[in-house]
Amino acid sequence: MDALATPAQLLVGGLLTGLVFALVAVGLTLIYGVMDVVNFAHGEYLMLAMYATLALALLGIGPLVGLPLVAIALFLFGIVVYRVFIRRLLAGPPEATVFGTFGMLVLLQGLAQATLTSDYQSIPNPPFHGTIRVGAIAVSQATLIEGIGALVLTAALFAFVEFTETGRAMRAVAEDRIAATLMGIDVQRINGLAFGIGAACVGAAGALLMLSYPVYPTVGAAFALTAFVVVALGGFGSIQGALVGALLVGLLEVFGGFYLSPELKLVPVYLAYLIVVLLRPQGLLGRR
Amino acid sequence: MRAHLIALGAIVVVVAAAVFGLRSAVALDLLFTLLLYAVLGQSWNWISGYGGNISFGHAIFFGCGAYASALCVTHGLSPWLAIPAGALVAALLAIVTGFPTLALRGHYFSIATIAVAALVDAFVRTTPWLGKATGFELPIAPGWATMQFPQKGTYVALALILFAAVQLATMALERSRMGYYLRALRANHAAAAAVGIDERRVKLVAFAWSATMAAVAGVLYAQYTLFVDPPSTIALAISIDIALIGVVGGIGTLWGPAVGALVYVVLAKAVALQLGGAGKGYDLVIYGAIICLIAALRPYGIVGTIVDALRRRRGAEAAA
- Exposure string over A22-33, b if 16+ CB within 10 A, otherwise e: bbbbbbbbbbbb
Q: Is residue A74 part of a domain?
A: yes
Length of chain A: 288
Q: Is residue A285 part of a domain?
A: no
* pLDDT score recorded for residue A1: 44
* pLDDT score recorded for residue B39: 97
* pLDDT score recorded for residue B311: 77
Cα(A158)–Cα(A164) distance, integer angstroms: 10
Q: Among A99, A111, A232, whose Cβ lies nearest the Cβ of B295?
A: A99
* pLDDT score recorded for residue A286: 64
Cβ atoms of B199 and B189 within 8 Å: the answer is yes
- pLDDT of A287 strictly over 60: no
Number of domains comprising chain A: 1
Question: Would the CB atoms of A103 and B295 count as touching at under 8 Å?
Answer: yes
Whether the CA torsion A164, A166, A169, A173 is positive or negative: it is: negative
Question: Would the CB atoms of A115 and B111 count as touching at under 8 Å?
Answer: no
Summarize the confidence of residues A272-278 as an average pLDDT: 85
Q: Which helix (H) or strand (E) holds A132?
A: strand A131-134
Please report how the helices A187-209 and A165-175 are oriented relative to each other, as an axis angle in degrees rounded to 10: 110
| Of the candidates B224, B142, B156, the residue with the CA atom closest to the CA atom of residue B19 | B156
CA of B251 to nearest chain A CA: how many angstroms apart?
10
β-pair type (A131-134, B136-137) = unpaired
Q: Is residue A28 part of a domain?
A: yes
- pLDDT of A143 strictly over 70: yes
Q: Among B118, B126, B247, whose Cβ lies nearest the Cβ of A99?
A: B247
Question: Would the CB atoms of B119 and A267 count as touching at under 8 Å?
Answer: yes
* Structure confidence at residue A259 as a pLDDT band (50, 70, 90): confident
* pLDDT score recorded for residue A232: 85
- pLDDT of A273 strictly over 90: no
Question: Would the CB atoms of B292 and A107 count as touching at under 8 Å?
Answer: yes
Cα(A134)–Cα(A140) distance, integer angstroms: 11
Q: Is residue A143 part of a domain?
A: yes
Output A273 or B33, whichever has higher pLDDT: B33
CA of B212 to nearest chain A CA: how many angstroms apart?
24
Question: Would the CB atoms of A110 and B285 count as touching at under 8 Å?
Answer: yes
Q: Is residue A60 part of a domain?
A: yes
Cβ atoms of A278 and A44 within 8 Å: the answer is no
| B102 φ/ψ angles, rounded to the nearest 5 degrees | -65, -20
Interface of B with A in 231-250 (CB under 8 A): 236, 240, 243-244, 247
Q: Provide the ipTM.
A: 0.86
Q: Is residue A4 part of a domain?
A: no
Q: Among B126, B251, B287, whose Cβ lies nearest the Cβ of A264?
A: B126
Q: Does A114 touch chain B (CB under 8 A)?
A: yes
Cα(A161)–Cα(A154) distance, integer angstroms: 11
| Of the candidates B234, B284, B240, B290, the residue with the CA atom closest to the CA atom of residue B68 | B234
Residues of chain B with Cβ-Cβ distance to A111 below 8 Å are: 281, 285
Question: Would the CB atoms of B296 and A281 count as touching at under 8 Å?
Answer: no
* pLDDT score recorded for residue A138: 86
Question: Would the CB atoms of A98 and B54 count as touching at under 8 Å?
Answer: yes
Residue of A80, A102, A108, A280 to mutate when probing chain B, most B C-beta within 10 A: A102
Q: Is residue A3 part of a domain?
A: no
For A69-98, the pLDDT digits (tens) are 999 999 999 999 999 999 999 988 777 888
CA of B291 to nearest chain A CA: how many angstroms apart?
5
Residues of chain B with Cβ-Cβ distance to A36 below 8 Å are: none
Question: Would the CB atoms of A263 and B125 count as touching at under 8 Å?
Answer: yes
Cα(A186)–Cα(A177) distance, integer angstroms: 10
- pLDDT of A102 strictly over 80: yes
The rounded mean pLDDT for chain A is 89
Please report how the helices B25-44 and B152-175 are oriented relative to each other, as an axis angle in degrees rounded to 10: 20
Q: Is residue A97 part of a domain?
A: yes
Summarize the confidence of residues A213-241 as an average pLDDT: 87
Please report how the helices B25-44 and B236-249 are oriented relative to each other, as an axis angle in degrees rounded to 10: 80
Show the domain range for A111.
Answer: 13-279
Question: What residue ranges of chain B have pLDDT lower than 50?
Answer: none
Residues of chain A with Cβ-Cβ distance to B116 below 8 Å are: 270, 274
Output A189 or A125, whichever has higher pLDDT: A189
Q: Does B283 touch chain A (CB under 8 A)?
A: yes
CA distances from A240 to A26, A156, A205 (A): 9, 12, 17
In CATH, what number is assigned to the domain containing residue A118?
1.10.3470
Kindly tell me the burial class for residue A281, based on how many C-beta atoms sit within 10 Å of its own C-beta (0-12, 13-18, 19 or more): middle
CA of B125 to nearest chain A CA: how many angstroms apart?
9
Where do the domains of chain B lie?
2-235
Residue A83: DSSP 8-state: I
Chain B residue with CA closest to A272: the answer is B115
* pLDDT score recorded for residue A216: 93
Helix (H), strand (E), coil (C) string for chain B: CHHHHHHHHHHHHHHHHHHHHCCCHHHHHHHHHHHHHHHHHHHHHHHHHHCCCCCCCCHHHHHHHHHHHHHHHHCCCCHHHHHHHHHHHHHHHHHHHHHHHCCCCHHHHHHHHHHHHHHHHHHHHHCHHHCCCCCEECCCCCECCCCECCCHHHHHHHHHHHHHHHHHHHHHHHHCHHHHHHHHHHHCHHHHHHCCCCHHHHHHHHHHHHHHHHHHHHHHHHHHHCEECHHHHCCHHHHHHHHHHHHHHCCCCCCHHHHHHHHHHHHHHHHHHHHHHHHCCHHHHHHHHHHHHHHHHCCCHHHHHHHHHHHHHHHHHHHC
Q: Does B295 touch chain A (CB under 8 A)?
A: yes
Question: Would the CB atoms of A109 and B281 count as touching at under 8 Å?
Answer: yes
Residues of chain A with Cβ-Cβ distance to B285 below 8 Å are: 107, 110-111, 114
For A164-204, the pLDDT digits (tens) are 999 999 999 988 888 998 888 999 999 999 999 999 999 99
Residues of chain B with Cβ-Cβ distance to A113 below 8 Å are: 280-281, 284
